[in-house]
Chain A
Amino acid sequence: MGQGRPVPNVVLIALLLAGVVAWLTLPAVSVAPNRIVPGTPLLAQEALGWGVTLPALVPMLAVVVLGWRPEPARLRLALALVVALLAAMPLWLSAAAAALVEAAQARLGIGAALWLLLFLWLLALIELRARLALPRPLGWALLLPVLLAWWGCLSLWLAPLALYREYQGRSDQFLDAIGQHLALVGAAVGAALVLGVGLALAMRRYAGLRRAGFGVLNFLQTIPSIALFGLLLAPLAWLSARFDWLAALGVSGIGWAPAWLALLGYSLLPMVRNTFVALDEVDPAVIESARGMGMSRRQVFLQVRLPLALPVVLEGIRITTVQAVGLTAVAALIGAGGLGTFVFQGLGQAAMDLVLLGALPIIALALIADALLSALADCLRQGGAT
């Protein structure tokens, strides 16, 4: 380390240069007189003039220069600049809103340039965090000033932002939708975990069940999600008509019941597969010596096999959860609620901002679930790395 001239960090340079191009050539915002009419796209210089647009290039190009000779001190400065850029974005938007939006009904849409910048700069942040080998919690802490800036601007100046307008019209529904979404994902993944672990254990014991089980689960996985929701409609409707207690529970052809069942079906395969492989692939020599030392079957399982398998099992939970967060969006089609509701409403009303109001939190939820479970797996892996 630190020997000779460090190689330029091509990733960082490419990300930031792409950002510069986007900033200068793509529309940064759009202004629409009302909710339905498509907005007029405006470049950054058209929105706030060259006087703001050109100075904004300074920090971006500074990061490019810093990336040319990526020594730790320079990378730390680059990191600070990227965080500052991310935090400055809502301020710029606030200024644009103040300058461009006059009528009460008019809305400010976020343009391609800003979406792209958000994406590129977040990637740059991830790259820098990895290069500097910052611990995960510190990485999250870096996002804090950015989130604070967005939150502050949204509550003070960004009322005309289209996305925010859509949210304001549905703030209660929005929280409910997140709740429903999380509840469905939690119930499906939780049930899949219990069933999946049980199934994996049974499969380890009975070879016949193994083939049949993986066959069925693989088949389930190949059914398109909408088709599966549709397929469950008829039998569930019939069941709830037949048995009063099921109807009393709220089971019917549409709603949470078919959604939960379908999600469970999709979640079982990754859960069972990972659990099975995790338990099966523990080094046989370790198991042999555990038995040879005089551990009972129960002790071998609880103290050796299970803890050694746990990181891979967690990996299964992570994959399943991320997958379920996405699939639950589709479940809105059969009235299961959740954030997908906004997506499909938005599509129906041709209101793209409403679609985004559903889609963005879904992406955020998936990313958060992914990060939390990865962090947990890392904790468990520590020391036990092989």
Chain B
Amino acid sequence: MIELFEVTKRFGEEVAVDGISLRVEKGELCVLVGTSGCGKSTTLRMINRLIEHSDGEIHLNGQPVRTFDEVALRRRIGYVIQSTGLFPHWTVARNIGLVPRLLKWPRGEVRERVEALMALLGLPVAEFADKYPHQLSGGQAQRVGVARALAADPEILLMDEPFGALDPITREALQHELLDLQARLHKTIVFVTHDMDEALRLADRLVVMRQGRIVQQGPPLELLHEPVDDFVASMLGGEERGLKEAALTRVRDRMLPLGPRLLAHERVAAQAPLHQALSLMLWHRVDRLTVVDDDDIPIGELSLRRLVGSKS
């Protein structure tokens, strides 16, 4: 659990972070989102004390971070940055094993841990262990970055625009992988991004920041429905908020069981987000879709009426 109480950071005269309070529960994925220069990265880096806060208090599991030795503190917190920061002169395996080695784990355990993590992130050991970072694609490098951050099994993971430099397809794949990982590992994650789609897709709790302050925080759907002001509304997509919301809802949640009517010709997966179903309807110019499960077996149907959530 991470708690920030009235935390302020000043760089000389300039106030980068202005008295923010935030509570990230254990196992929660909290996304800080905002325009550049809003203080979200600074906030993240104050948690592992790469930047020291000027005022207020930051607690980790109820204990002020200032009371920890900063080096020991950082070894307990995973850290992933946009440019990966992999050491170019070390192999993939050595990069991943960094923190366990700093913590003086026995050699055999480090190797086992590295191999387990590489398997977890879909990096075959035989192929990647001895490669150097410059031999990796952007997506592979960022996977290594995530593996390195997870190496010593930290309770907390800080991620600073980790997928920002990747192409859209790789980025989406890694977002899904992160969600899968999180479903299994239940880390407490603070994730910084300026990409609202990414934020909505990942967040348990969404924190919108502006000029060093938190404008609004809460579950993504709550923010979508009740933005406190025009800034939050426009950050969340303005007029397109309906589509953003549809992206957060699954077809499964709106479908009806198969009725007596003939099956509609066009199909949609039950796991697909709602905006995909809407897109299919628009594309095929139909108002009814057959919902299928992972094995492509029809399990229900979705009408335009149900999709838009009309009560009648």
A interface residues, Cβ below 8 angstroms from B: 283, 285-286, 288-296, 299, 304, 307-308, 383-386
Contacts and interface: CB of A to CB of B under 8 A. Distances in A.
What is the predominant secondary structure among interface residues of chain A facing chain B?
Answer: helix
B85 A285 contact: yes
Q: Interface range on chain B: under 10, 10 to 19, 20 to 34, or 35 or more?
A: 20 to 34
A294 B72 CA distance: 7
B173 interface: no
A385 B81 CA distance: 21
A293 B89 contact: no
A285 B83 contact: yes
A291 B83 contact: no
Contacts of B48: 292
B75 A294 contact: yes
Best-buried of A286, A307, A386 by chain B (most CB within 10 Å): A286
Given A293-B74, A386-B134, 16 more contacts: A283-B88, A285-B81, A286-B86, A288-B85, A289-B145, A290-B87, A292-B74, A294-B72, A294-B74, A294-B77, A294-B102, A296-B71, A308-B87, A308-B89, A383-B89, A384-B132
B98 interface: yes
B50 A293 contact: no
A292 B102 contact: no
Contacts of A292: 45, 48, 50, 74, 79, 81, 85, 158
A307 B79 contact: no
Contact of A289 (B75, B76, B79): B79
A383 B99 CA distance: 22
A295 B102 CA distance: 7
Given A295-B102, A299-B102, A386-B134, A290 B85 contact: yes
Contacts of A384: 88-89, 132
A39 to B, nearest CB: 57
B205 interface: no
A293 B132 contact: no
B42 interface: no
A289 B83 CA distance: 9
Contacts of A286: 85-88
B56 to A, nearest CB: 21
B174 to A, nearest CB: 18
A386 B86 CA distance: 11
B73 interface: yes
Contact of A294 (B73, B81, B132): B73
Nearest to A297: B71
Nearest to A311: B89
A383 B132 contact: yes
A384 B94 CA distance: 13
A144 B87 CA distance: 40
Interface in B78-115: 79, 81-89, 91, 98-99, 102
A289 B158 CA distance: 12
Interface in B39-53: 45, 48, 50
A283 B148 CA distance: 18
Contacts of A290: 85, 87
Nearest to B74: A294
A378 to B, nearest CB: 14
Given A285-B83, A383-B132, A384-B132, A294 B71 contact: yes
A383 B91 CA distance: 8
B29 to A, nearest CB: 19
Nearest to A385: B134
Given A308-B89, A383-B132, A293 B102 contact: yes
A143 B158 CA distance: 57
A293 to B, nearest CB: 6
B102 to A, nearest CB: 6
A308 B85 CA distance: 13
A386 B81 CA distance: 18
Given A383-B89, A384-B89, A289 B84 contact: yes
Contacts of A304: 87
Contacts of B50: 288, 291-292
Interface string B294-307: 00000000000000
A294 B156 CA distance: 14
B89 A288 contact: no
A293 B88 contact: no
Interface in B166-204: none
A301 to B, nearest CB: 13
A288 B83 CA distance: 10
A285 B81 CA distance: 8
Given A299-B102, A383-B132, A386-B134, A289 B85 contact: yes
Best-buried of B75, B88, B102, B134 by chain A (most CB within 10 Å): B88
Contacts of B84: 285, 289
B88 A308 contact: yes
A307 B90 CA distance: 10
A291 B148 CA distance: 13
Interface string B109-144: 000000000000000000000001010000000000
Contacts of B76: 294
Nearest to A386: B88
A324 B281 CA distance: 78
Contacts of B145: 289
A289 B81 contact: yes
29 contacts: A285-B83, A285-B84, A285-B85, A286-B85, A286-B86, A288-B50, A288-B81, A289-B145, A290-B85, A290-B87, A292-B45, A292-B74, A292-B79, A292-B85, A293-B75, A293-B99, A294-B73, A294-B74, A294-B75, A294-B76, A294-B99, A295-B98, A295-B102, A304-B87, A308-B89, A383-B89, A384-B89, A385-B132, A386-B88
Best-buried of B77, B79, B89, B99 by chain A (most CB within 10 Å): B89
Nearest to A289: B85
Given A384-B88, A386-B88, A293 B148 contact: yes
Contacts of B89: 307-308, 383-384
A347 B72 CA distance: 68
Nearest to A282: B88
